Structure 1
Amino acid sequence: MLWVKSLHIIFLITWFAGLFYLPRLFVYHSMMAATDREGHERFKVMERKLFFGIMTPGGILTIVFGLWLWLGYHWNGRWLYAKLVLVAALIVYHVYCGKLMLDFKHDRNRHNHVYYRWFNEFPTVILIAVVILAVVKPF
């Protein structure tokens, strides 16, 4: 099971790398002058590749190996259910990132860079809470 736990952590890091970086790309993309068409297209490619090539596989494999750990260790407790609620929130955040990426793709962005700067902080808070729940198991 240590291999499964290792893979879970590796893919969690991969997923979070994307969850941290994609909103940062949104910040820069939303700050670009409307006349820089080439720059907009470059950001669209970067966002798509990050979302589909890194974030989504990382998220799926994190969940797969997390479920494997849950079944293998038969973990139970309120800490686990709290962690699962946070994972569900991350999944919603991930899907919303995909919606925002599609808005940029179709030139329908309605938010400014300040919105994306605040939006970028959400996964940090969730990561801190998930790590504390998994390591300390406070309840």
Structure 2
Amino acid sequence: MADLLFTLYPWIKALHIMAVLSWMAGLFYLPRLFVYHVEQAEKVQDSLPIFNMMEDKLLRVIMRPAMIVTWIAGLIIVFTPGIVDWSYVWPWTKGASVIAMTGFHHWLVTRHKLLVAGTNTLTGRHYRMMNEVPTVLMVIIVLSVILKF
């Protein structure tokens, strides 16, 4: 099994990177959609269903599958012998950041449900600030993996 994992490693790594890029694109874009939803939906007639549909499709069609593939490919990489040295700090900081990113993803799902239900309490400014969360986590993840401190 270890030989198979090592042989497939470059392919799994490529799949992981592609999934991460797709997931991150959604994590960057969805809070921005929420800003427009909160600030513009009342001003533009009949736009609420359009915002709801755009947000829902982004979550269901792009972000959720990308997150799942990211996790599966990442776990395969973690279990490939010789790839991760757990005596370093970087796998732990990356892992904690990925867990935080997943938590942020689920927070966005909850916020979308509240927007659809019409019970949102956050402003566009709140969503603009929250839009920085995936950026900070991405910086931690990339520095951890590249610098391997």
Question: Which interval holds the TM-score relative to the shorter structure?
Answer: over 0.9
Higher Cα Rg: structure 1 or 2?
A: 2
Q: Cα gap change, 1:33/1:23 in structure 2, threshold over 3 Å: closer, same or farther?
A: closer
State the superposition RMSD in angstroms: 1.2
| Identical-pair percentage | 34
**Residue 125 of structure 2 corresponds to residue 118 of structure 1:** no
Detail structure 1 runs of 4+ shifted over 6 Å in the superposition. none
Alignment partner for residue 79 of structure 1, among 68, 77, 90?
Answer: 90
> What is the alpha-carbon distance in structure 2 between the residues aligned to residue 135 and residue 69 of structure 1?
15
Structure 1 match to 2:142: 131
Calculate the TM-score normalised by the size of structure 1.
0.95
The answer to whether 1:66 aligns with 2:77 is: no
TM-score (norm 2): 0.89
| 1:54 corresponds to which of 62, 85, 109 | 62
TM-superposition CA deviations, 1:3-55 (whole Å, max 9, x none): 00000000000000000000000000000253645111100000000001101
Q: How far, CA to CA, are the matches of 2:50 and 2:114 in structure 1? A: 15
Q: Is the 8 A contact 1:4 1:68 kept in 2?
A: yes
The size of the alignment, in residue pairs, is 138
1:9 aligns with 2:17: yes
Distance 2:81 2:145 in 1: 13
Q: Is the 8 A contact 2:93 2:140 kept in 1?
A: no
Residue segments in structure 2 that go unaligned for 5+ positions in a row: 1-8
Distance 1:37 1:102, change over 3 A: farther
Change (3 A) 1:78 1:102: same
Q: Does 1:97 align with 2:108?
A: yes
Q: Which consecutive unaligned segments of at least 5 residues does structure 1 have?
A: none
Alignment of 1:25 onto 2:33: yes
